[in-house]
Amino acid sequence: MTVPPPTLVPTPPQTIGPYFGHALPFAGGTDIAPDGHPDTVTVHGHLYDGEGDPVPDGLLEIWQPAPDGTRTGAPGSRRREPAAGHNGFTGFGRVATDARGRWTVRTLPPGGIGYLSLCLFVRGLPGHLRTRLYLPPAQEDSTTDPLLSALPPDRRRTLIAVPTGPHSCRFDIHLQGPEETVFLDFDHGFDHP
Amino acid sequence: MTESAIGASSPGVAARLPRRPLVGVRDPEAAELWGPVFGDQDVGALDADLTQRYPGRPHGECIAVTGRITDRQGAPVRRQLVEIWQANASGRYAHQADRGPGPLDPHFTGVGRCLTDDQGQYRFITVKPGAYPWHTDFNAWRPAHIHFSLFGTAFTQRTVTQMYFPGDPLLAHDPFFQAVTDARARARLVATYDHELSVPGRALGYRWDIVLDGPAATPRETDA
Ligand SMILES: [Fe+2]
């Protein structure tokens, strides 16, 4: 991949604030998997602050390849309809945390990689946070995945979901504290290959 | 006022800021170099005109807000989703958590969305939002602003930001605007009045161009 040197000053992010709730969540945003798909995995978790208190005003977005490894997505990411001409899988989901800081999505395992990409928006934070959710079992990934293998075990652990059933797993996000989740930066490093 | 001042006056914010450095990802196969795709089915025909949701017109000064969304190389972000939300002309959000002093407007919800065109242009018709107090114990006012949610060609470019209005005296006092320390980046957040964009007899025109940060896989020239 070659990228010409950047020339324009980017527009900086600003906090999402407390009033996005009537604008961004949408019906079906938590159902990335097509209705009734037998391979559906339920992914759930809590969002905590550094005091261990739940964060009730967060917004989580999920992006991932399709089960066949397709990464180009499909139109209909916020209004999925069979008529859209694909199988109902767009690779995108959006979920607001509830009053107890909980969130749940239903999806299909991505093809080719072991993780879901997350973008997190929280009232009060000056910008968004990015992380990854590695689906269990991720033990193999920890030696072959470029990100997991570069992290010490205690930090790596924060990116790996814990099985809670045959088709479900839990992924808690800690904004701060001893279990602080690993947050990622993609904006630097590609510009000077 | 600084970020720590925001934290001191907004309970809980200090405990939300991560303390550890971000971990850089430089994997050319990272899934984040691709991203979600939207189409005509994702937006309604009237979603871009926030003044036409009800039989009656909303209060306030009608404005047309338009601009071009590009990446840092200036390539247009085509056929991509733009979502906005804002207070009404009295500085009040149609949101149950907003207990501000401004009256609700029965003809305005302040939520809109559209797709960019093939040149990366978006356009909304709305009313100019009012300033509003964000704290009752001291002089803490948000300048007039519109919240923007933006997607690029890659998930790395996903961002949420705010558009401000030119010449607003509150910008100098707003800790959220002033939290952007680079003057050139801060200038990116302020729209310009553009007489050419004003709609005769109807709306005042503002231009606000947006530059998305972050790497992408190959440019997608033929997205349908
Ligand atoms: Fe606001």
Residue B167 alpha carbon to ligand 1 centre in Å: 18
> pLDDT exceeding 90 applies to what percent of chain B?
83
For the record, the structure tokens of B90 come out as 């009295």
More confident residue, A138 or B199: B199
A10 inside domain: no
The answer to whether residue A27 neighbours chain B at the CB level (below 8 Å) is no
B119 inside domain: yes
| Distance between CA atoms of residues A57 and B108, nearest Å | 23
Picking from B12, B14, B176, the nearest residue to A15 by CB comes out as B176
What residues are paired with A184 via a beta bridge?
B23
ipTM of the complex: 0.93
Picking from A55, A77, A191, the nearest residue to B42 by CB comes out as A77
A141 inside domain: yes
Summarize pLDDT for B105-130 with one digit per residue, the tens.
Answer: 999 999 999 999 999 999 999 999 99
Q: Is B59 assigned a catalytic role?
A: no
Start-to-end CA span in chain B (Å) = 46
| Range of the structural domain that residue A162 is part of | 20-186
For residue A162, the domain's CATH number is 2.60.130.10
List per-residue pLDDT tens for chain A, 193 residues long: 555 666 899 999 999 999 999 999 999 999 999 988 999 999 999 999 999 999 999 999 999 999 999 999 989 899 876 544 456 899 999 999 999 999 999 999 999 999 999 999 999 999 999 999 999 987 777 888 999 999 999 999 999 999 999 999 999 999 999 999 999 999 865 543 3
B34 inside domain: no
Note if the pTM is more than 0.80.
Answer: yes
CB B29 within 8 A of CB B23: no
- Chain-centroid distance, C-alpha A179: 18
A2 inside domain: no
CB A84 within 8 A of CB A76: yes
pLDDT computed for residue A137 by the predictor: 85
Task: Report the mean per-residue pLDDT for chain B.
Answer: 92
- The count of domains in chain A is 1
| Distance between CA atoms of residues A133 and A171, nearest Å | 7
| Distance between CA atoms of residues A103 and B61, nearest Å | 39
Summarize pLDDT for B23-71 with one digit per residue, the tens.
Answer: 999 899 999 999 999 999 999 989 999 999 999 999 999 999 999 999 9
Q: Is B147 assigned a catalytic role?
A: yes
User: Which of B4, B19, B42, B43 would best serve as a mutation to test chain A binding (most A beta carbons within 10 A)?
Assistant: B42
Residue A120 alpha carbon to ligand 1 centre in Å: 18
B211 inside domain: yes
A124 inside domain: yes
pLDDT computed for residue B130 by the predictor: 98
For residue B205, the domain's CATH number is 2.60.130.10
A13 inside domain: no
pLDDT band at B1 (very low <50, low <70, confident <90, very high): very low
A8 inside domain: no
Residues 6+ apart with CB under 8 A from A12: A127, B161, B180, B182, B185, B186, B188, B189
Mean pLDDT, range B137-154, rounded to an integer: 95
A9 inside domain: no
- The count of domains in chain B is 1
A108 inside domain: yes
What are the start-end ranges of the H helices in chain B? 3-9, 175-178, 183-187
| Range of the structural domain that residue B215 is part of | 43-223
Start-to-end CA span in chain A (Å) = 8
- Window 73-132 of A: residues touching B by CB (8 A cutoff) are 73-79, 81, 83-84, 90-92, 110, 113, 115, 117, 119, 121-130
B144 inside domain: yes
Is 80 exceeded by the pLDDT of residue B195?
yes
